[in-house]
Chain A
Amino acid sequence: MKHPLALLPLLLLAACGSGPKTETAPAAANTASLPEAHVDPATAGTVSGRVLFTGTPPVMPIIDMSSNPQCERQHKTPVKAETVVVNPNGTLRNVFVWIKSGLSPAQWPMPATPAKLDQNGCMYAPRVQGLMEGQDFEILNSDPVNHNVHAECERNAAWNESQPPRAEHKFKKFASEEVLFPVTCSVHPWMRAYVGVSPHPFFFVTADDGSFVLKGVPPGTYTIEAVHEKYGRKEGKVTVAPSGTASIEFTYGS
């Protein structure tokens, strides 16, 4: 190499060629070689329960959107952060609950519709959601402003892409199980969503009553895990009898 500047094209090539990946994604789960899952409707059971919150709920701050007035104008009232949302009945919202282990490896039927993440009012909706490995993940920008969408995965390949106002929807897939990872926007640093990628359809995100239901579960003993973005993971075991309902409660607190 006669001149150091001759290195520049190589460096640039290395930069562009490496692409937007911080982690090398593990090989996609080879579900094609697995047997198709079959659940007998006559014996399928249910896992249900609630996620409770004890103690004084933390006060969520008002989000300051003044750095982007177009975001601010879309809200008639100030928007509170959604990190911890405790329902009036003392339950916790936005907890991802799923069967962590106990299911035999199988190819579960994929939902016909994609999981959707909308950017509306410079907030993500929904805050927390689950989808299956290989399921389409549709990203919309309903805002009149630019966003970048950064999937901060660790097991799957991370990516960061811009999405102009009302641009075409983006469609992504995640190949590997990963519960949970954040999706963020650096243009609007308060924007944060969480996604859980599951190899099966038995997951649920708690809403305004804090309850969850996993239907069509084959009889067996399972580890159920609850994951909250701030308070972390909790798990418990349940046994689902044929056509039975198993209950479990999780309790978080401040």
Chain B
Amino acid sequence: MAPNPTPFPYNRGLHRWSLLLALCTLFLVVAGGVVTSRDAGLSVPDWPLSYGKLMPPMEGGIFYEHGHRMIATTVGMFTIVSLVWLWIAEKRKWMKWLGVAALLAVITQGILGGITVLMLLPWWVSSTHASLAQLFFSTTVAIVLFTSDWWLKGASTILEVATAPIRKLSLAAPICVLCQLGLGAAARHKAFGSIYHISGSPIVTGVILWLVVRILLNYSSNRELRLGALTLISITFCQVFLGIAAYMTRIAYADSVQPMPLMVTFTVFHVAVGALTMAASVSLAILVRRNVALAA
């Protein structure tokens, strides 16, 4: 079936800017993961200033914490530019409001980041901060999708197979991933041990596997769905192995007196690929809603 083009024009500048915002947000998630893994979250006790200045000496943990704040400020400004651009150039009203949602999310993120420092990292604030970061990153990736040329060229829709429905299942995957990310964040911020996050891993992987296999078996004629499913499962498998590596290094360095580079590396990669898993599952859910029509 030929794609059914949308009436909205492609804006290359806006799309590339959105891509830049998403990449910067991923970098911000990595920087946040480094702060937590290096136990640097309280190295700058004040907020919004750092040691009473805009630019403190970048030494030790201050480098990671203040660096995270600087990247966050940049992402915040980029998000404002995105919003203005969307309101000027975008014809789809809901896209303008998606830009507003992104800005509200990044502002809330900044405030949560400040609150958690001032309150000495209570686990529920830090975990909310970490989980909202993942949602914000997924939002920026969704904006990249919606502003892309291929999105605006329209989709080749296929009918949902009655014996293998995926429209609802595709929503279950990002919900499970978000819960798993929340459990991981709570474990990292010492709300409880990592047992809940580890126990959640086979459940989330199972749901993703179920969705991906169903797509490959029943909807592989649709190139977008096929690529989306293969991307999600590839990232998920990477994530599982990174999780095992992060856990093993934590056990190995349990008695260390400072964060060890190997543990920091695996843990930060696990956080970053967690963000990619979330974004990939959200993107696949979006693709399913667009490309798979309900059977009459």
Contact = CB atoms under 8 A, between A and B. Distances in A.
A112 interface: no
A4 B62 contact: no
B51 A160 contact: no
B235 interface: no
Contacts of B104: 4-5
A150 to B, nearest CB: 5
B115 A68 contact: no
B59 A158 contact: no
Interface string B219-236: 000000000000000000
Contacts of B56: 146
Contact of A67 (B51, B60, B115): B60
Contact of B119 (A5, A15, A146): A15
A18 interface: yes
B255 to A, nearest CB: 8
B163 interface: no
Interface in B1-49: 38-46
B195 to A, nearest CB: 22
Interface residues on B, range: 20 to 34
Nearest to A62: B257
Contacts of B60: 67-68, 71, 145-146, 187-188
A186 B42 contact: yes
Interface in A167-181: none
Interface residues of A, number: 40
Contacts, number: 98
Given A11-B111, A192-B257, A164 B51 contact: yes
A148 B115 contact: no
Nearest to A161: B45
B45 A162 contact: yes
Contacts of A4: 104
A29 interface: no
Interface string A224-248: 0000000000000000000000000
Interface of A: 4-5, 8, 11-12, 14-16, 18-22, 58, 61, 63-64, 67-68, 70-71, 81, 83, 145-146, 148, 150, 158-162, 164, 185-190, 192
17 contacts: A11-B115, A15-B118, A18-B115, A20-B45, A21-B120, A22-B122, A63-B257, A63-B258, A67-B63, A68-B60, A148-B45, A150-B45, A159-B120, A160-B42, A186-B39, A187-B62, A192-B257
Given A83-B255, A146-B51, 15 more contacts: A5-B104, A5-B107, A11-B115, A20-B119, A61-B257, A63-B258, A67-B63, A70-B59, A146-B60, A161-B45, A162-B46, A186-B42, A186-B61, A188-B61, A189-B40
